[in-house]
Chain A
Amino acid sequence: MVGMESNRYPGEDQVARRRKELFSPESEFKHLREISDDDLVLLLGHRNPGEEYGSIHPPLDEIELPFDPISELIEPSDGARAGDKIRYLQITDSVYFSPLFPAFRGRLYHVRYPGIDTIVYAGRQLIEARERDLERFAKEILETELFDPARTAIRGITVHGSALRLDEDGMMFDARRRTRYNRGTGEVEYTKNQMAIPLDRPVRLGKPMADEELLRVSARYGGGSVPYRDAKELWELTGRILKQHVEGGFDPEKVEKK
């Protein structure tokens, strides 16, 4: 509506403000590292650098599709138009102030990236899309402040570690040891791809953020961030949603009348 601004999350504390930023499609996130196209392909592990994209159907321009009114409304993505296979990127987020958390990744991805599917767990979050679209989205996800090399990790298999204590270098535990912290350079290197298959050469993702910086961009309550009990507007809203869910299920008019 004219003159109204979207309020994308309740509350005005630091965490709430960060969540408003995360869930706004207009937000631009701080660029922290460059990942070459070849390095990205290596990390994802779906094809070899330089290899053609795999396809599951001919390009849309070459096939005749039955009438579908939705196709009149939505422009196919580049990957869909080319017939790319659907590929995935899965990210694990440490509770110790990964810049983003699985449930919020889901919301952020839906707001920013069209044509995706996403599955949210407790420690990890999948994004699935046509391969060339996925690579485009993955660039933003991995090159910006949405990713920290120590507290966020690319893991397609054996994903656990999000709730575990950190190691002596401040790195999140990984049973498959895909990453190593180079104490000489202070940088994190991937020696295996997301499926934990060893790489021919390491891929460097740069230095981890300082704890203070992670705390500053944190989107979680508790644990040194804003205390749970202080998010009063949030809990007011969740309580209201619960009540309306129950009353609306019992008798929709109880909610509609209000």
Chain B
Amino acid sequence: MKDEILKKIKEVFKEDDPTRKDTRYYEFGGRLQSETKRGFIESSKRIAAERGIPGYQGGREDFGVPLGSRYLEPYYISGTETLCDMDEMHQINNAAIQQMGDDIKRTAINGLDLPHRILQQKVGVSVTPETINRYLESINHSIIGGALAQEHMAEINPLMTRDGYAKIIAGDDELAARIDSRFVIDINREFPERMAEKLKQKIGKHIFQVARIPTVGVRIADASVVHRWNGNQSALAFVSAYSLGGGSILAEFTITVKHMAYMLLGTPTWPRRGPRGANEPIGIPYGYIGDFCQADTVNDDPVHYCMESMAISGVIYGLIWFDSYVLGGIGGANTFSSPFTNNLLDDFTYHISDWVKDKYGGFAAVKPSFDVIRDVTEEVNFYGMEQYDKYPVLLEHHWGGVIRLLNLNAASAIGVGFATGNSTAAILAVYYSGSFIQKEAWGRHNVGIGDAPDQINIPNTVSVRPDEGVIPELRSPNIPEDSLSASVFVPSPAACFASHRARGDAWCLSPIVKVAFADPSLTFDFKHVREEIARGARHEFIPAGERDVITPSR
């Protein structure tokens, strides 16, 4: 284990000898050892007095779990110097974590080529950079609640929707240069040259609109509101900018604007997974996680990019989807924050990254095979388990089996992805790691579903029938024939972003999504994911979507 990581672990546990197998318990003062939880108790007393109903009662000893019988260690946000209590990683307590989810949910992407073609061919108006600029001014008025076509409309207070806007992406430099720069996500500015050239080449002469629905929009409805909000306001902006009227042609045009070239960031959910609308986290494909992450635009270290991407995966699939939608608010924060806390996943990943370079002579340097999957996955698991054995504080910190599986499964996927550059091989490592190596070595499973996800899903890993699977980049927790646990759906994106990073790709699944999240106007900075989460933990992150404009101040 790297010295600097071990040093932080020792600091976190106030332990000089991390190899000690014994410690003391029951003498830390229960919950009261935590300043954060003491604050909860004091706040809850005031709340109970105000409303007349008891709520949080952590100060009582006669019911509930006796939290704090053991030492409640603080958590470093990995890759930062921010040390915080575990409660600060709960999605409700961390504004940055919430905003990351909101910024993804509220993103609407639609192609403008089709509407432009209809305008020119069927309506008979010219589309020029000047008209596009006028349209963009219009959409930036309507997308935040300004009326455009109908009179006597109630409008939205712009202070409530100040984070809403629309921009465009264009792969053609000449075209982009003729659009008002306030409305362009500038690929040349946001990406290193090697990435920018690949992205521009793939996007080509197409134009895409990236709209951000105001955060408050996805706070009063679910994320499926985004498609409709963007569609209606885009259509109205076209009507206004191009003075459109008529019946059937307008109907065809608005249908095209709203739906024909619209990109769902997340698919609506199969009923078996619990019905959720489009753009909700469960339907987001694994390939997009590495595209949301922009760490590769500011840091050349592949492991750094993978760790930043894993933080997004932990937040989006773990904290926001599973801990909220499935677990109902509490139960998963320690597990789902583990990929981005106390640097343990970083250590496992640096180890296998170095090992792959030594063994195969570099990244994406060996053809995928079952032997390679085995060799890499076994190495990272043996190393990780040896660290847990050598330093019992690590095992104490990763106290739940699913925490250990999640992290070693992720490191395995990253290792195989680095070695082969093949996401299918890498996703197999997720299953081989947990359901075979850790289970047989330790005689321990997962959470209550045991190894069902692994044994059910492995035969489907190379299936492209949509009810059984699809290629890893297009998979998500929203596959009806999959069985899922946290140890599967949080690490699975690693199979994609590690493989594509190893190949030197500029994106994982979509160049459009990659560019959309490079936008500096976003509230959450996807270039510095863990630092943003750390700002949230320090209560320094300023989110969007607040209601203080329309409420009395407390």
- A residues with a Cβ closer than 8 A to B are 95-96, 100-104, 106, 119-123, 158, 160, 162-168, 170, 173, 175-177, 219-224, 228-229, 231, 234-235, 238-239, 241-243, 245-246, 248-250
Contacts and interface: CB of A to CB of B under 8 A. Distances in A.
B21 interface: yes
Interface string B86-102: 00000000000000000
Given A165-B393, A175-B69, A235-B378, A123 B444 contact: yes
Contacts of B66: 158, 175-176
A234 B440 contact: yes
B448 interface: yes
B442 A246 contact: no
Contacts of A168: 22, 24
Contact of A249 (B22, B447, B462): B462
A160 B428 CA distance: 30
Given A160-B399, A167-B24, A238-B440, A222 B69 contact: no
8 contacts: A121-B444, A122-B447, A167-B22, A175-B66, A220-B443, A229-B382, A231-B440, A245-B458
A202 to B, nearest CB: 18
B21 A96 contact: yes
Contacts of A234: 440
A120 B382 contact: no
Interface in B368-408: 370-371, 373-374, 378, 381-382, 385-386, 389, 392-393, 395-396, 398-402, 404-405
Interface in B14-29: 20-26
B463 A121 contact: no
**The 9 nearest A-B residue pairs measured at CB:** A122-B401, A249-B459, A101-B443, A238-B436, A245-B458, A223-B389, A175-B69, A239-B374, A104-B443
Contact of A245 (B24, B459, B463): B459
A26 B66 CA distance: 42
Name A's interface SS.
loop
B94 to A, nearest CB: 24
Contact of B386 (A100, A160, A228): A228
A40 to B, nearest CB: 25
Given A120-B450, A165-B21, A239-B370, A103 B458 contact: no
Given A173-B69, A231-B441, 4 more contacts: A120-B445, A122-B405, A165-B23, A167-B25
Contacts of B431: 242
Interface of B: 20-26, 65-67, 69-70, 370-371, 373-374, 378, 381-382, 385-386, 389, 392-393, 395-396, 398-402, 404-405, 428, 431-432, 436-437, 439-448, 450, 455, 458-463
Nearest to A105: B443
Contact of B432 (A160, A170, A223, A238): A238
B400 A123 contact: yes
B458 A246 contact: yes
A164 B399 contact: yes
A12 to B, nearest CB: 15
Given A173-B70, A249-B458, A163 B399 contact: yes
Contacts of B459: 245-246, 248-250
A170 B439 CA distance: 25
Contacts of B401: 121-123, 163
Nearest to B392: A165
B385, B445, B447 pick with most chain A CB within 10 angstroms: B445
Given A103-B443, A119-B448, A160-B400, A246 B461 contact: yes
B393 A250 contact: no
Contacts of B447: 121-122
A70 B447 CA distance: 32
A95 B389 CA distance: 9
A228 B22 contact: no
B264 to A, nearest CB: 28
Contact of A246 (B24, B385, B446, B462): B462
B466 to A, nearest CB: 15
Contacts of B385: 222, 228
Contacts of A123: 400-401, 444
Given A163-B396, A165-B396, A234-B440, A173 B458 contact: no
A122 B441 contact: no
A99 B26 CA distance: 26
A175 B70 contact: yes
A122, A163, A173 pick with most chain B CB within 10 angstroms: A122
Contacts of A119: 448, 450
Contacts of A222: 385-386, 389, 441-442
A164 B396 CA distance: 4
B14 to A, nearest CB: 13
A245 B537 CA distance: 43
B370 A170 contact: no
Contact of A122 (B65, B370, B381, B444): B444
